[in-house]
Copies of this chain bind each other. A is one copy, B any other.
């Protein structure tokens, strides 16, 4: 049952990331294939970069045709029904945050399987969760969103740290993944809900300087 739930979250995450790619691409008025490509890259970019850095190649989506098909279907629906989907921002945001949590945990666990240092595993989790969006923003000629003050990468990094803290305690190992996924989700969700941002480093513009 837990397996089914994780599988479902994986798929929902893939779908929402794909949809976020479609909307970002349409804002820049790309053509239909441009939109599909951006959608695809947003969805699989983070995992791809992780696997390239690890040398775990060919990247997984090449062997597993299911993921590309899910993305293609999601992107097509998002283009066709964009006027309807826009009314479900709240739902999409929840799926997106769940996906962020799921992909972060996926990256951390892959790092552990490769026998890497906890610090590096946190980096891999963050790459898996965030870098699809980073590559999307680069391709669209925006400064990557996650580098702005909104709490996004922060949620992945904090989630990763909590993963290894819990790992060292007597916390039941079989609930580690779901717990950390929900931690990342909650941080991201609460940050947006209550408009939390990182401390501003640049106040000295007017003051101290």
Q: CB distance A142 to B139 under 8 Å? A: no
A148 CB contact (under 8 Å) in B26, B30, B146: B30
Q: CB distance B33 to A119 under 8 Å? A: no
Q: Shortest beta-carbon distance, A137 to chain B, in Å? A: 9
Q: CB distance A144 to B139 under 8 Å? A: yes
Q: CB distance B138 to A138 under 8 Å? A: yes
Whether A198 touches B32, Cβ cut-off 8 Å, given contacts A65-B117, A68-B119, A144-B139, is yes
Q: Per-position contact with B for A25-47: 1 when CB-CB < 8 Å, else 0?
A: 11011111111011000000000
Q: CB distance A34 to B119 under 8 Å? A: no
Q: Shortest beta-carbon distance, A193 to chain B, in Å? A: 19
Q: CB distance B68 to A120 under 8 Å? A: yes
Residues of chain A at interface, number, CB under 8 A: 56
Q: CB distance A141 to B142 under 8 Å? A: yes
Stretch at the interface among A53-61, A94-102, A178-186: A53-61
A149 CB contact (under 8 Å) in B31, B114, B119, B139: B31
Q: CB distance A32 to B143 under 8 Å? A: no
Whether A120 touches B153, Cβ cut-off 8 Å, given contacts A141-B141, A143-B140, is no
Is A207 positioned at the interface, with any CB of B under 8 Å from its CB?
no
Whether A143 touches B141, Cβ cut-off 8 Å, given contacts A26-B201, A198-B31, is yes
11 A/B residue pairs, CB under 8 Å, sorted by A? A28-B143, A29-B202, A33-B153, A33-B154, A33-B157, A34-B153, A52-B52, A55-B58, A62-B114, A62-B116, A69-B119
